[in-house]
Amino acid sequence: MTDRGKVIRCRDFRWRGVPVRVYKDDPHLYRNVAQQVLLGGVGQPDLNFETRYFEIQPGGRTTLERHGHPHAVVVIQGEGTVVLGSATEGIQAHDCVYVPGGLAHQFRADRGTVLGFLCVVDRERDAPRPVEADPR
């Protein structure tokens, strides 16, 4: 644990010193998604949550999946669509999305822009389970 805070500088939706990670292992389930773990990752064991940034390129999508833990999402760039169970909603910068545990969900950059969002989840969480559906 550290007694010092820190600032992670951002330029053009990339945070300095934070690696851009591969989103998942199976690229058949998603398309054109990158992520950065901003807070709660390695070196910050005193946080019991992770704040992650996801960026989906136009035409891309996250995996349609469900898991037991909830998500708190804040869109900070672009427009797209979120699937929440059987509902589909348009989303844009500054919209907030709550995804309760157990609900199938997916984020899509289907409106011609990059879709970027912050996602806060529990640090210790269950693995996602893909849901069968038309990925569009």
CA torsion sign for 97, 116, 11, 16 is: positive
CA angle 62, 73, 54 (to 5 degrees): 45
Q: Which residue has the tokens 């807070």?
A: 39
**Assign residue 111 a region: left if phi > 0, alpha if psi is -120 to 50, beta otherwise?**
alpha
Structure tokens that stand for 1 in this block = 């644990």
| DSSP helix/strand/coil, 11 | strand
Of the residues 29, 75, 91, 119, which is catalytic? 119
10 is catalytic: no
11 backbone dihedrals φ, ψ, rounded to 5°: -140, 120
Q: Which residues are catalytic?
A: 119
